[in-house]
Structure 1
Amino acid sequence: MRSTKSIRTAKIGSIMMAAALSGIGVMLILFPEFSATTLCYVLGGLLTAYGIIKVVGYFSKDLYRLAFQYDLAYGALLAAVGLIMLLHPEGFIAVLYIVMGILFLADGLFKTQMAIDAKRFGVGKWWLIIALAALTGLAGLLLILRPFDGAKAVMILLGISLLAEGVLSISVALCTVKIIRHQQPDSIEAIYTETKGDQEV
């Protein structure tokens, strides 16, 4: 039996970071005049911490192996973007919306694939994940294209995107990360390896 500490840390940390993203999103929707420089500092710190948690989640090997399966590279990318935002906030403002849009679009696509895997795995709420992933991906695409004029409109769109991303991440953590106190180490991987070996014979 192995410790579930890393899995629990990744799950709780993901929910907390996602809730913070949602909170910032609501704030931007209500107060679109928020300073872009201050926003870079806030998002930079949050994305750096979130990226680290995602990497921890990747190595935690939760029971279903669904929620964090793409998070080694994506977590590292989030942490790198967050550090750049913290170190060069003024220079980052010009590309803030495009970069955030790419991140949200990418996560929407990753989560769509994860939802399909979750359906095959028998997770009942896979349809909720795929719906939220589509919404998040669409919001990210709109951030990249920016069809609306005006700084306030774009800031509101960023807020909607952050809110969608946060709700998506919370749903994924709650629906697909299962913590079993006496989980055997790599039990699913062992079963998969054994089955694959039988097929090759």
Structure 2
Amino acid sequence: MKTSGTLKIARNGYIVMAVIFCALGIFLMANPEGAMKTICVLAGALFIADGIIKIIGYFSRDFYCLAFQFDLGFGILMIAMGVLILVRREAIFKLVFVVFGLLILADALLRIQMSVEAKKFGLNLWWAILIVAVVTGVFGMLLLIDPAGGARLTVIFTGIAFLLEGILKLCVVIYTVKLRNDGNVVYEEKFTEVGH
């Protein structure tokens, strides 16, 4: 498969994953009690799918290596955690929100680093990625410390974190790479070479 074709799959996959994260986040916020019964299955499957897309993105070799630069290792981690959640969902249920928090916080921190590097390249909207990543990271941290101290509010916090994760994914892929109508790869913003 050509690099442009792989990148198109990765970009579209990122968008689909972003929409699913947002939808799952809204579902968790709207129905926290009902979501408790299915959250492990839904999240496990979602993490596996997201990990696969991340690995495809890493091997797509986008020109500036910003959007997918951390996605090989993190994609493998997402798949491993997704499998663990599905296979050991009863044993891990009490810790599942901690797992969510760790993964969301880790992704947010990587995107914060990516936004700083995007600024160096001259990407005009680097600050939008930075802001969304910071807010997403805050909610990832909230899942770790569980300030609500209750299952219902924790599920709502998880829903907000998933929604923000979806928005972050959209910001990353839309602000860094897009495809022309002919399917060829172009870039949303014009970059300038640092130091010249």
| TM-score by shorter chain over 0.5 | yes
Residue segments in structure 1 that go unaligned for 5+ positions in a row: 184-190, 192-201
- Post-superposition Cα deviations, 1:74-97, rounded to whole Å, max 9, x if no partner, equal 000001111111212111211111
Residue segments in structure 2 that go unaligned for 5+ positions in a row: 187-192
Distance 1:124 1:72, change over 3 A: same
**Residue 82 (str. 1) matches residue 114 (str. 2):** no
What is the deviation of 1:177? 2.2
- Post-superposition Cα deviations, 1:11-68, rounded to whole Å, max 9, x if no partner, equal 1001101110110001111111124341111111111011011011001001221010
Contact 2:24 2:162 in 1 (8 A): yes
Contact 2:108 2:136 in 1 (8 A): yes
SS across alignment from 1:34: helix
List aligned pairs for 1:5-44, cutoff 5 A: 5-44=5-44
SS across alignment from 1:124: coil
- Post-superposition Cα deviations, 1:177-198, rounded to whole Å, max 9, x if no partner, equal 2447278xxxxxxx9xxxxxxx
What is the deviation of 1:101? 0.4
Residue matched to 2:130:
130
SS across alignment from 2:68: coil
Aligned equivalents of 2:136, 2:46: Cα separation in 1: 18
Question: Rg: which structure is higher?
Answer: 1
The TM-score with structure 1 as length reference comes to 0.87
Contact 2:178 2:185 in 1 (8 A): no
Contact 1:101 1:142 in 2 (8 A): yes
Aligned equivalents of 1:75, 1:182: Cα separation in 2: 23
**Residue 120 (str. 1) matches residue 120 (str. 2):** yes
Aligned equivalents of 2:108, 2:35: Cα separation in 1: 27
> What code does the residue aligned with 1:141 have?
M
**Residue 148 (str. 1) matches residue 148 (str. 2):** yes
Coordinate RMSD, CA, aligned: 1.8
Residue matched to 1:194:
none
Counting aligned pairs with the same residue, the percent is: 39
List aligned pairs for 1:36-185, cutoff 5 A: 36-179=36-179, 181=184
> What code does the residue aligned with 1:108 have?
A
Aligned equivalents of 2:88, 2:96: Cα separation in 1: 11
